[in-house]
Structure 1
Amino acid sequence: MAHKNQNKWSVVIIACMAIFIIVLDSSAMNVAISTLVVELNTTLSIIQSIIALYALIIASFMLLGSKLQDILGRKKTFLIGLMIYACGTITATLSVNAFMLLTGWSILEGIGAAMILPATTTIVGAAYEGKDKVTAFGIWGGIAAMGAAVGPIVGGIFTTFVTWRLVFGSELVFVAFILIFRHYLSESKPTLTWKDLDKVGVLLSIVSLILIVLGILLLTRPDYWSYVAVLLISGSILFILFLVWQKRRINNGLEPLSDISLLKNRIFGLGNLNSIIQQIPLAGFLFIIPVFMQQVAKINAFMTGVALLPASISILIFSLLGAKLSSILESKYIIMIGFIISAAGAFILGGVFNINTHIIDIIPGTVVFGIGVGLLLSQLTNLTMSAAKSDQETDAAGFLNAFKNLGYSVGTALIGVLLILGIFGGLTSGIESAGLDGNMTTKQIHDSLFNYVEKMQTVPPKISPELVPQATQIVESTISYSMKQTFNALTLILILGFIISVFIPKRK
């Protein structure tokens, strides 16, 4: 327990530093998308995949990362995860191509984060009691929100004025601080051995989630559409098999990877479902706004961070205010209000994107969206975790963090897919109807423009040079139309969250 007053909050501060750098990665690099495309000589789809796979790897390994605490102890699990994360950070910092960035950021950092996140939950929970525990988790949640809030501006400053590599490199300073003060963290006694680990469950959970998100990501490439259904169906079947396998192990008195009986609890189940739904629009918002601002509005990474700042501030303020609101208003109603407000923000944003859009034009919509998301962030974790018994907290934390990161991964993939498909739905016909096709076939036009958009308009389309300005205008207006349709989709997803939240039982 953290009894010494002078060091009372040391444990939560250490945990918060770890949470901060993990969340920072998710939001800071979105503003560097166009720079990454150019410097790593890659495409928009590949960068989108790397961002989505970072959250996917965290989600896929989260249940294993949570269970490792019972085998290794929470402190040892946390520190091993931190070292893996540091290796990933170094690799990402030194990346010379997209594959190296994928290895460092998505895979190594993702696996490290999957070990760190559930461990911080139990470390903080074990270090405090009573009101101190409530305060500690409030600080923990606030810092997580702050990481998301400052990420775009930090990423914009580094990318524009120094290099995007410092987003990753600067995280090593936090890693060093955590290692220096690691003696404040208390160890837990292992309750399981490696022999008790459900290895089949680990394999089923990881493979099923990876297949599902890969299936969504491949929607961006029409050439691979024949594989999409196979991946999605296979992933879904394997996840059902995972649940059946867990039930079988429980019935046979064996240690499951996760206590799936938690999912039968209505508050826990609906809380997790709403966490996924809330993460999808947030991830989509943080992905497509930078794409539009840099590709159509032609602003740099720093100004993209500035464009996202009002939303970030709203999320931070209302995630803190929402926690106070819960003392006078049932969490269920705050969640319902959060979904309605964020849906209104998404709907407002759908009508502001065109070739002449400036930062000032998107501020009202982003602020309203941020207020709603902030209210949701303030309630969903507490509401969901409140449904777990004390001996289920490790499994509950694993499930919640896994589903949240799965939602973020699906959001980046799905919303990116909607945007890209929307663009190509109108591009080819736009070029042909404008008489800009020359002697090119429809497929040649499509392939040329696909490369043009995928390279963030950094390579000229393969059409007559004198027609490039008109083709560029068609690309930009098509993107604007696609943005409107994509934000309409986000609005519908948030309304679905509102409908589901109606069925959340009131807490007694």
Structure 2
Amino acid sequence: MSSMVQTTITNSRMVAYRWWALIALALAQFLVVLDASIVNIALPSLGSELHLSTSTLSWVITIYVLPFGGMLLLGGRLSDRFGHRRLFMIGVTGFALASAAAGLATSGAWLLTARAIQGASAALLAPAALALVTKLFVDPRDRAKALGIWGAVAGIGSAAGVLLGGVLTASLGWSSVFYVNVPVAVLVLVSVPFLVVKDAIGSRVNLDVPGSATVTSGIVALVAALSGTEQVGWMAPQTLVLMGLAVVLLGSFIFIEKRASNPLMPLGIFRNKSVAGGNLAMLLIGGATTGLFFALSVYMQQVLHYGALKAGLTQLPLAGALVMIAGVVPAIIKSIGTRNTLAVSLILLAAGLIWLSFSPSDASFTTHLLGPSILIGIGLGGAFVSGTELAVHGVADAEAGLASGLINTTQQIGGAIGLALLTTVASSRVDHLMNSGVVEAKALTGGFSWVFLGAAGFAVIGAIVVLTLIKSPSSPVVSD
């Protein structure tokens, strides 16, 4: 009887505090997404103080993405095995300590080590956090609202990274882009134990060590190969070796998973068309978003000569539009279905990117950048919310961590692929224009224009994939 009373009290507590719990979990997710972009504007001052070369500076971004993207599936499975709240708390703790260490860095090696630990910690907390959200909200309507907020946070984090990076770097110095994580992480660590009930540990079965090793190594090799193409080229021995290694390792992973008694990633999860379509969409959204924010921040500083603060503040309209649209997306989904909402959002994103590609080398913010920024924000808000909902539809609680890890993994891999492809295309375009006698500012603008057009292409392909793969646009995307 006492156990029944305790269960009733526990369930009542979960219902009473779940919206506050969502805020705490979303704050942690915000930090994870934010840290992939907030460092961009701080790189020049960071490199100057730590005496880092341009090629080394690129690794400040890459060294975070490598363990993050490579360990997400493992992080999701570990949370399914050892408890989602437990892994979340471990991840947030590691992320806070690594952020403090990064802010205190006095050398490049120190900073890169701290960034790698940040990425690994993010791979633990991100899938566990989303899995907790899906378990806290079982009612279809409430889950739709919760996932709407969650998807909006992912989009806001990407946009806010440039904004906060500019403001913090200009006012407090580059270290502040890392220190800002610490108080937020501490707030999350203090509040979550009171808001989220400790979940049960999974069944006592062995983890899929061969699968974990091959997929983690394979993704790291793939991201490393793609991230290095801008410096060494696509046909360089380094790129070819890493690409070949990635193919072998990921092929081995699929072979292992088909035969494993307790696979890290049961391949049958992709028979769920919503999961498959949602993850393909997130792959392409990641490619478009990463290329967009990288090119936009560099375009504003190198071509339009905006300072760090001004470059950051110009992201306010985009972020504002994203927040506003995210609040109404659940209602839109209810009206036209998740598939159609995602497809329309991707088309709006593509339209905004195409509009942005026409910006000249002497662009005025109000005339040339404001309109496309708002349209891009609307498209991103709708895409992140509906894409997240689609990718977790119909997933059992026992695989919630896996599904959450998949979403983050596809987004990170998409970002790495998109950035590598788009920056390579942009560099080729700039070189061609410069060799043709075009002045530097216009040549750079031409290169960035191709980045925006390429990102628009990712969005259009995403819309086509969703409309082709998902056959029932009116069906609900959340299950009780």
TM-score (norm 2): 0.89
In structure 1, the partner of 2:7 is none
CA distance in 2, matches of 1:384, 1:6: 27
- The one of 163, 166, 171 equivalent to 2:181 is 171
CA distance in 2, matches of 1:97, 1:417: 29
SS in 2 for 1:267: helix
In structure 2, the partner of 1:150 is 160
In structure 2, the partner of 1:487 is 452
CA distance in 2, matches of 1:102, 1:388: 36
How far the C-alpha of 1:349 sits from its partner, in A, is 1.2
In structure 1, the partner of 2:138 is 129
In structure 1, the partner of 2:236 is 225
CA RMSD of aligned residues (A): 2.3
Structure 1 residue runs without a partner (length 5+): 434-472
1:293 aligns with 2:258: no
Counterpart code for 1:150: A
Counterpart code for 2:248: I
- The one of 233, 243, 261 equivalent to 2:254 is 243
Counterpart code for 1:344: A
1:410 aligns with 2:417: yes
CA distance in 2, matches of 1:62, 1:332: 26
Contact preservation (8 Å) 1:320, 1:378: no
In structure 1, the partner of 2:124 is 115
- The one of 193, 197, 208 equivalent to 1:198 is 208
Contact preservation (8 Å) 1:31, 1:152: yes
Contact preservation (8 Å) 1:56, 1:406: no
CA distance in 2, matches of 1:272, 1:495: 15
Counterpart code for 1:365: P
TM-score (norm 1): 0.84
Contact preservation (8 Å) 1:118, 1:401: yes
In structure 1, the partner of 2:467 is 502
How far the C-alpha of 1:144 sits from its partner, in A, is 3.6
Contact preservation (8 Å) 1:57, 1:111: yes
| CA displacement, residues 116-163 of structure 1 (integer Å, 9 cap, x when unaligned) | 011112222333432444443333334444333433222211111111
- The one of 469, 476, 498 equivalent to 2:441 is 476
How far the C-alpha of 1:90 sits from its partner, in A, is 1.4
CA distance in 2, matches of 1:372, 1:136: 19
Shift in CA distance, 71/293, structure 1 to aligned 2, threshold 3 Å: same
In structure 2, the partner of 1:210 is 220
Shift in CA distance, 475/345, structure 1 to aligned 2, threshold 3 Å: same
Contact preservation (8 Å) 1:220, 1:421: no
Contact preservation (8 Å) 2:227, 2:420: yes
Counterpart code for 2:471: P
Shift in CA distance, 309/132, structure 1 to aligned 2, threshold 3 Å: same
The count of residues paired between Structure 1 and Structure 2 equals 459
How far the C-alpha of 1:93 sits from its partner, in A, is 0.7
Contact preservation (8 Å) 1:281, 1:493: yes
Counterpart code for 1:400: I
CA distance in 2, matches of 1:219, 1:148: 23
Contact preservation (8 Å) 2:148, 2:326: no
Contact preservation (8 Å) 2:356, 2:369: yes
Deviates more, 1:52-61 or 1:480-489: 52-61
CA distance in 1, matches of 2:144, 2:313: 33
Contact preservation (8 Å) 1:142, 1:319: yes
Matches within 5 A, 1:181-192: 181-184=191-194, 185-192=196-203
Contact preservation (8 Å) 2:318, 2:377: yes
Shift in CA distance, 265/6, structure 1 to aligned 2, threshold 3 Å: closer
How far the C-alpha of 1:108 sits from its partner, in A, is 0.7
| CA displacement, residues 364-400 of structure 1 (integer Å, 9 cap, x when unaligned) | 2222222212111120111121142344323222212
Structure 2 residue runs without a partner (length 5+): 1-9, 476-480
Contact preservation (8 Å) 1:71, 1:192: yes
1:340 aligns with 2:350: no
Deviates more, 1:91-100 or 1:162-171: 91-100
In structure 2, the partner of 1:456 is none
Shift in CA distance, 6/494, structure 1 to aligned 2, threshold 3 Å: closer
Shift in CA distance, 265/283, structure 1 to aligned 2, threshold 3 Å: same
Shift in CA distance, 414/320, structure 1 to aligned 2, threshold 3 Å: farther
CA distance in 1, matches of 2:409, 2:357: 30
Shift in CA distance, 308/43, structure 1 to aligned 2, threshold 3 Å: farther
CA distance in 2, matches of 1:287, 1:192: 43
CA distance in 2, matches of 1:290, 1:479: 13
- The one of 262, 266, 279 equivalent to 2:273 is 266
- The one of 16, 26, 32 equivalent to 2:36 is 26
Shift in CA distance, 97/349, structure 1 to aligned 2, threshold 3 Å: farther
Compare CA radii of gyration and give the structure with the larger one.
1
How far the C-alpha of 1:415 sits from its partner, in A, is 2.6
Q: What percent of counterpart residues are identical?
A: 23
How far the C-alpha of 1:12 sits from its partner, in A, is 1.7
How far the C-alpha of 1:77 sits from its partner, in A, is 1.1
